Structure 1
């Protein structure tokens, strides 16, 4: 009888222990889910998560948190050593020696090596990759020539001394080079995961990364889930269990989901334009300065925008103040030039030294320019004009407002066409548009970065525009070491751009964010994507 009772007690003890264990596992699962940051990619499916091709805000945000470069931006948006433990610069400023950390690992536990960086950077430059970010590499010796097929990969100024030492030769001293190495096109790539694959980076199983998070799942057109990377060099500082990026493109829906607790954080791309003013006024959203701007591209190979006077007429016929105050409503600034305020150089804010290059509310000049331009082109009537834009509430409302302004002020027949982001980007890149919505987020905080994109043949030009004076000015500014002269040259380049008007600035960005009070320590940079490595969720 005693044996039987002892057996019963033992069984009950095991059952209770098992139950406690199950409860602990369940609680741990709940805790892990609670520490998962829920975000939204308002433009939908990323165009690419290949670091060499991820060159839009959606894509770079994900890449920035899956990977890490030689440097990484700190809370003050300054580059600090990351995968690199030590950075040495030669006396002439043209050679950098990066010493990699021993603890830098891939998410599979293998060491990150100097060869991984050399392979990744040359892959961005390789013309076969067709990377829109290749121009960022042009500061490196022979990178531009390699991309143009005029030099070999071996001639590029990237040298691997050993597994832990990367030596980079520049074309000339580049004060913002360390900042560039924090940017997503400069992250390393796991060579064995790319070599020989036709479509790398297309599925979750393809990803071996070295950042604070690693890919867990990717349900295309729906969501991307990442989890903490235990092999990250500073894994102990990463408090989140993971991140889930949803892809809700309808602003009102995203806002309602935030209110219901389904998102922890929204930026202005996810907040409905018609609600922004109200949300800001109620204190539900925070507004801060940001770099970049929204603008329209004119296809200068398509009539009527083959004529500079007509392009300028259409630019002058837009009431930017009305767009800011009545449409986007996020305390943005009207853009009467291209380089944004807050673009700081050694000489100070570039915009403070520049003129208002687009007259405000000058419809008479717009009408006169249109008349002159049509006469020069032999046009009795304007052809129909189509505004192409990527789907989104804000983009639609801005396009509708400009459609009405051009109809009312210039008697133009304007139609609108919305496309999914991937199709839109492809059509814009291929010149399949008349007017196309565009945006620019700076890669580094210098006016040259804004202006370099419109040089002849630049992959980000996408207008068909070419101007010898502009090209000469940009080349001169690139080589100029006297900061005062460099700024004078860049101001003149911006003037030429606004005189010829292959693009039409609309408004400079502000950073509008909604964040749950329990979420802390999101690194939100004026230049570059958000960083969630120090983010915490308390509750």
Structure 2
């Protein structure tokens, strides 16, 4: 037995290594870039990974759109480089003794890109828009702490009953249904950004386009060429424009990390979105030195199970498939960037890591520390119990959005399942471009679908929210009312300890239902030109990036 296990591990490692490829370039590609920006440079060129689906703040549900929208708009609060909520459009705020009433004082010089003042009524309009069902804002549940929001989202009340009120042009009052200590952090997310009411009323569907958009952030939209680029110019009417040093930002949607790397090496890109597989973090560090950025991230990579799709509608099947994925092999052979195996619906590190080993408290996860061969034996029994055999195999399709890493991981998991189940299972993989793939997930036209979630704020509820019955982000199509109850009890809990306890129970219920297949805890990694100043990602574990932080270093001799 010991010898056969050794052969199995070696074979799997070699197979995964073959999938991972090289993709990093040779050792003599050490970048010989100057610490000073090229003379006359006025444009920051950044990768955004793929095509941007939307620039409407309330409709954003992905990291690529967020990278652009966070430059174009600003909420009542914004973030510093350690993801702490700080004043944005609101210069300050007061909180009532019971923690339920926030009074925000807007900056006198906060303006839209057309020069008009940003008013409290603009926020009233925008927050109402965000929770109105017709808007279909995918992250509107972030705002359900506002008094009346849940009833509006459930179509049981009108938008004007939301607990937001303009006391005057520069004073906004928000009443919460219950205290929530991290409420200012929620307001730094795009779902709570203001939109310009006259324009949105005039053209509700088409306003967020180049030539039409009016925004209030550090930059304004100039061009948006699908599959080409997005160009933003410094907004002279931004309240802090004097501290915005870079005049233009060009965002490039490049699906191939290898293409991105080649552009970076050729001096055609200042900051990459990610990097190709194949090389380890240490190897990248050896090649690029301090240009290589590698940061642990509050995010998880996982697959949704469509609980209404044949096969994965059965709990035994979902558990069997989850058990037989060798997460460490994927990390070691494909990723190599310090990622760690994930078994929960929340990532390691959330709220200081208090849920890191939660799988140990979920009885149906006793398989985690068993050898892969033993897991496979148990999993086969589960498939047999679900009615599958060599004569009646389980047909599966793994769906993912187009990106080489996603393909390699899907193909690796396919191999793992085939090895574990033999003729009991048939697996195919299929890919779609990001915009189309998001629709596929939301319409539940899939069986097993790749997804990820990066924390919008540092609280477990940000992840549990996806697993609620009516959450727009619940792409698995299930409803667990006991889970919903624990979430709500947590959100209304008067103490942090009670919040943590109820969220823990909700997490355990989600895990026990095997609605998702967790794979790994994220890190993010990219290359940044040495002449980029002001960007300090070391403590930015949510990878929220604003171009307004940055500047081009100049030649000290000149």
Instruction: Indicate whether the TM-score tops 0.5.
Output: yes
How far apart in 2 are the matches of 1:186 and 1:198?
Answer: 17
The answer to whether the aligner puts 1:447 opposite 2:453 as a matched pair is no
Contact 2:128 2:160 in 1 (8 A): no
How far apart in 1 are the matches of 2:101 and 2:493?
Answer: 18
How far apart in 2 are the matches of 1:116 and 1:485?
Answer: 36
Correspondent of 2:81 among 75, 98, 103: 75
Q: In the alignment, what sits opposite 1:289? A: 296
Q: In the alignment, what sits opposite 2:4? A: none
1:276 and 1:204, CA in 2 relative to 1: closer, same or farther beyond 3 A? farther
How far apart in 1 are the matches of 2:395 and 2:159?
Answer: 47
How far apart in 2 are the matches of 1:212 and 1:447?
Answer: 30
Q: In the alignment, what sits opposite 2:251? A: 245
Q: In the alignment, what sits opposite 2:320? A: 313
Contact 1:313 1:367 in 2 (8 A): no
Correspondent of 2:190 among 167, 173, 184: 184
1:416 and 1:35, CA in 2 relative to 1: closer, same or farther beyond 3 A? same
Q: In the alignment, what sits opposite 1:197? A: 203
Contact 2:48 2:273 in 1 (8 A): no
Q: In the alignment, what sits opposite 1:39? A: 46
Structure 1 residue 193: deviation in Å?
1.5
The answer to whether the aligner puts 1:324 opposite 2:331 as a matched pair is yes
The answer to whether the aligner puts 1:392 opposite 2:394 as a matched pair is no
1:409 and 1:338, CA in 2 relative to 1: closer, same or farther beyond 3 A? same
How far apart in 2 are the matches of 1:373 and 1:496?
Answer: 22
The answer to whether the aligner puts 1:254 opposite 2:260 as a matched pair is yes
The answer to whether the aligner puts 1:478 opposite 2:496 as a matched pair is no
Q: Which 10-residue stretch deviates more, 67-76 or 481-490?
A: 481-490
Alignment of 1:131-280 (within 5 A): 131-268=137-274, 271-277=275-281, 278-280=283-285
Structure 2 unmatched ranges of 5 or more: 1-37
Structure 1 residue 484: deviation in Å?
2.1
Instruction: Please tell me whether Structure 1 or Structure 2 has the larger radius of gyration of its CA atoms.
Output: 1
Contact 2:128 2:159 in 1 (8 A): yes
State the structure with bigger RCO (CA 8 A, min sep 6), 1 or 2: 2
Contact 1:212 1:533 in 2 (8 A): yes
TM-score (norm 1): 0.90
Q: In the alignment, what sits opposite 2:432? A: 419
Structure 1 residue 458: deviation in Å?
1.3
Structure 1 residue 203: deviation in Å?
2.2
SS in 2 for 1:387: strand
Contact 2:297 2:543 in 1 (8 A): no
How far apart in 2 are the matches of 1:153 and 1:198?
Answer: 16
SS in 1 for 2:308: coil
The answer to whether the aligner puts 1:54 opposite 2:60 as a matched pair is yes
How far apart in 2 are the matches of 1:372 and 1:331?
Answer: 32
Q: Which 10-residue stretch deviates more, 417-426 or 366-375?
A: 366-375
Correspondent of 2:116 among 110, 116, 125: 110
Q: Which 10-residue stretch deviates more, 89-98 or 67-76?
A: 67-76
Q: What value does the CA root-mean-square deviation take over the aligned residues?
A: 1.8
Q: Which 10-residue stretch deviates more, 527-536 or 169-178?
A: 527-536
Contact 2:121 2:169 in 1 (8 A): yes
SS in 2 for 1:272: coil
Structure 1 residue 488: deviation in Å?
2.3
1:133 and 1:463, CA in 2 relative to 1: closer, same or farther beyond 3 A? same
Contact 2:46 2:273 in 1 (8 A): no
The answer to whether the aligner puts 1:300 opposite 2:310 as a matched pair is no
Give CA deviations for 1:158-197 in whole Å, capped at 9, x if unaligned: 1111111111010100111001111111111111121131
Structure 1 residue 378: deviation in Å?
6.9
How many residues are matched? 503
SS in 2 for 1:296: strand
1:398 and 1:385, CA in 2 relative to 1: closer, same or farther beyond 3 A? same
Structure 1 residue 60: deviation in Å?
0.7
How far apart in 2 are the matches of 1:388 and 1:204?
Answer: 32
Q: In the alignment, what sits opposite 1:535? A: 550
